[in-house]
Amino acid sequence: MTNMDKLYASVAANGPVCVGLDTELSYLPESAVDSTKTAGENVVAYNRALIDATKSAAGCYKVQIAYYESLGLDGMRAYAETLRMVRETGLPVIADIKRGDIAKTAEMYAKAHFTGDFEADLITLAPYMGLDSISPYLPYCKDQGKGVFVLCRTSNPGAKDFEYQKLADGRHVYDLVGDSISALGQDYIGETGYTSLGLVIGGTHTEEASAIRAAYQNTFFLIPGYGAQGGKAADIARYLNKGNGGVVNSSRGILLAWKKQPGVDYAEAAYNECVRMREDIQSECDKL
């Protein structure tokens, strides 16, 4: 099985919620901060509690490296430990690193994030230097079953600046990216029929949802934008294939769930939000 196959199986078992461990120290309640520990150690303890609480309701986890890099060496130790903790659960972990370089540099990024201390099951990539910014990762997809999610049509307002620009043939730039990655991925199809080359498809621009899903039937989607960024379950459900074929990320909505559930332990609050989110999305999938 490829890691994308494992992700499919995990979504089938637990639902499509992707818990974003974009953990900033300021997100922690006072009760979760130990003044005798470093910032990174406190982040690890918080992540451990949330992983333990949500692993039965999460399809996967996504760890955004920037939050850990901002803490220096202490943060990078926390990053490595967080990846390790998730992998110990058996659930897939996505390293949100958005690398986009070429040649030997990309080879070193691939080695750094598909092996060793920072090993993840899947990673995010930026394609705008061309397909040679993707190709150095493909040997890991072929030989180890690793997977990538390539930025295609993102959830931020600035997506309109470049991704929505029209080409001479009438397609958008995001269509060109999606078509190119889909074609490249045909050589990396797993047991479930999905390729190891997925796409990041934001859930906040919903007009094209059905067309995008229909265009890339064997491509797994990483779908940011639910909740804090304005994505609604009714729209996001259209990016899924009968509730699978994608994972829906929520970071602040889960990390800060304790703020909206007074008197509830922060880990329990995170679990409650995962379940609520999963049921919200599933109910909309059932209507399609």
**Domain span at residue 58?**
3-285
Q: What is the pLDDT of residues 239-282, one digit of tens each?
A: 999 999 999 999 999 999 999 999 999 999 999 999 999 999 99
Judge if pTM exceeds 0.85.
yes
Q: What is the pLDDT of residue 228?
A: 67
Residue 52, domain CATH: 3.20.20.70
Question: Active-site residue among 98, 166, 232, 287?
Answer: 98
Quickly tell me which residue has 């303890």 as its tokens: 45
Return the ∠ at Cα 234 (arms to 233 and 238), rounded to 5°: 100
Within the chain, where are the H helices?
A: 3-14, 39-54, 65-69, 72-89, 103-114, 138-144, 159-162, 173-185, 209-215, 233-236, 252-255, 266-285
Are 81 and 73 in contact, with CB atoms under 8 Å apart? no
For the stretch 99-143, pLDDT in tens is 999 999 999 999 999 999 999 999 999 999 999 999 999 999 999
The question of whether 260 is a catalytic residue gets the answer no
- The total number of structural domains that make up the chain: 1
Q: Which of 86, 82, 67, 65 is nearest to 7 (CA)?
A: 86
Eight-state DSSP code of residue 108: H
- β-pairing, 147-153 with 17-20? unpaired
